[in-house]
Chains A and B, each alone.
Chain A
């Protein structure tokens, strides 16, 4: 038990040294001493609650993806049937209950129609995207498969993350963390941001820009009541526009979307000096925009942003240059924001902020300072208590404790974990609990001596008999820590990380290292009696 062969000794010191060394860069970063660049520098990250910054949890509306997909399929079916040779006439098109159904005028064309739709139904990926059935010999019903919807949501989330990243980059923020969480959520963490409002406004803006023709045949009274003529839909004017409070009917199909932009900048209308956004289409978008404006000269078209009409100007002449100017009662700030959003692309799905936590940088620094002070004081009290109670054995426990804290920090740095505010509490708890093992061992040695065992035997037995309870206690703490990690979120997880790593380091230092030191002392000093 007290036998430590050289290889074991070397191995123990090596592990200790490496772990403690790994803590140095993190410790030095608090001072002005520079860690040499040539050496690896594992660092403990500071959580947002300590470093200051914003944590934002965004959730996508998955049902919207499904609805959008249904709309696209409708347009696809109409186009396919129209351009078929010979043309396949369809009617009674409906997208109710999340499925697309339509009736063929000529039932004999059903096989041809099925054949034409097959590519879009099978999709491009590995999963079949739609189920197709024929009812009554002439009604075709397309139902999206769950796999297809899941795939679409997943794709939408991937591109939403890209868009979010671009928008945050536009703000010039350093080192944002953007990760997907679960099926429909995105976590955005931005350290040290001063103005979270701007960030939230930017992330919340879908920036879906659409140009649609105004339905001039709609009765104004119907439109204001929200009744859309067949083939049209109704949008409200944006609150910032000149017609806020009223609505507009536009043709559902045949418009174009502002997805294909090469640029967008905030600018001023040369005539009114009002802030506007200039956009440039790419060649494809420019061609389609030119066609739309050429075919509809003299008619009004609506510029719709995120389901709200910004303005509905008349098309005075075809716009062929591939550029357009969007006005709609912007301030310089909102125009600038829209420009950023358009540049980074529209979000494929609406994102809502469902959780936000922001901590100012001053508060975080203050927390660290107070945490450090409390930790130092707490350690001091524990050390005094241990040395007063166990003398020499208390000194071993103290050295073990100091190494324990350094190793804990070092391992956290190597694993690149994050130190949070509750993590500081975790450090303090670890300090208070790490010496528990020494208490159990020392009390046992005391007992064994009282029963009349000789020094070496008492120490040996002390370590052996105490180890059972130490083991069980650490396993139960481990269970509690792991469950906290699994079910906890954010900062609380940081607490669990410290506790769990601290269990391992404390067993290593308080049991293994201290045993080595005690063994060395017993061998060298050969004491007849020990003060305990």
Chain B
């Protein structure tokens, strides 16, 4: 039986040779992502922006009248609604970001939702309400705060853990790789204006976890090789480590990818954004494990001494007592 080997046995790609251009490109991408987030802005869903979202199916129609709906809801005077196809052709999501003076009033969002639903129910006989989300400004503010906290806390806690398990340089490298993954994922959400909701925060946290898996595998091998090849120049040693673990990196990312793809295409519409986010993050995370996490170690000056236990005073005393010295 011949087994599938996606990465040939003696693969030896000079990853580190191109570390400076790649790193520069990564830095540019990070900067571009944040520029996009700040200029174009994230398309916040009701979780973070407050307001209401109504999801509905036009049971007797082949296609939902998106343009018509936009006009009808706009005439109700709650500002410009976002009307999007959601899942099947005859399903829509209608999102209304309430004006500040309306959302300040706790009950206003409720009344707006009722008005929109009853108007559309009167207008279309085959309008079926599938669900609605209704979030007041107060709650959405709390969600934003908590989401930011969760992201920061997760990145810091994980970097700290890597520092404890490896060395501080590795902690910094991991943190930087995570920052890269989070930035690029958010940048893509800003670029494509995909809805940014609580689910996307969950997606980013999942990405943080899985991106780290690859990074850890590479780091673990770097540590092992540092102990084994004390005299090898660091760039060469990093290349060796990345190449040795490349099959793992590819396989672990690939198993996750093939598991996700059916969910992306056949899964529930409400999960699409989240799964798309994780899938994007998967590519970004795999790249960062190879091109961000490892090269940083060169600049931070990791040496093979980092992992050779230094002799403590106690050790010396013990040796002396035994008469070894």
Contact = CB atoms under 8 A, between A and B. Distances in A.
A522 interface: no
A499 B262 contact: no
Interface in B254-283: 254-263, 266-268, 270-271, 274-275, 278
B110 A469 contact: no
B198 A492 contact: yes
Contacts of A468: 220
A191 interface: no
A71 B131 CA distance: 42
Nearest to A433: B256
Given A357-B131, A489-B198, A431 B259 contact: yes
B3 A389 contact: yes
B247 interface: yes
B157 interface: yes
B324 to A, nearest CB: 30
Contacts of A473: 212-213, 216-217
Nearest to B134: A356
A373 B266 contact: yes
A424 B259 contact: no
A358 interface: yes
A57 B47 CA distance: 13
Interface residues of A, number: 76
B248 A439 contact: yes
Contacts of A443: 245, 247-248, 251
A57 B140 CA distance: 12
A49 to B, nearest CB: 7
Nearest to B210: A433
Interface string A171-203: 000000000000000000000000001001000
Interface string B123-159: 0000011111111101100010011011001100110
Interface stretch (B4-12, B22-30, B74-82, B186-194): B4-12
A479 B266 contact: no
Majority secondary structure of chain B interface residues (helix, strand, loop or mixed)? helix
A381 B265 CA distance: 14
A354 B106 contact: yes
Q: How large is the interface on B (under 10, 10 to 19, 20 to 34, 35 or more residues)?
A: 35 or more
B229 interface: no
Interface stretch (B94-102, B200-208, B293-301, B308-316): B200-208
A422 B114 contact: no
Contacts of A370: 266-268
A436 B210 CA distance: 10
Interface of A: 49, 57, 59, 197, 200, 204, 352-360, 362-363, 366-367, 370-371, 373-375, 377-379, 381-382, 385-386, 388-391, 421-422, 424-425, 428-429, 431-433, 435-436, 439-440, 443, 447, 450, 465, 468-469, 472-473, 475-477, 479-481, 483-484, 486-492, 495-496, 499, 531-532
Interface of B: 1, 3-6, 9, 55, 106-107, 110, 113-114, 128-136, 138-139, 143, 146-147, 149-150, 153-154, 157-158, 161-162, 165, 198-199, 201-202, 205-206, 208-210, 212-213, 216-217, 220, 224, 244-245, 247-248, 251-252, 254-263, 266-268, 270-271, 274-275, 278
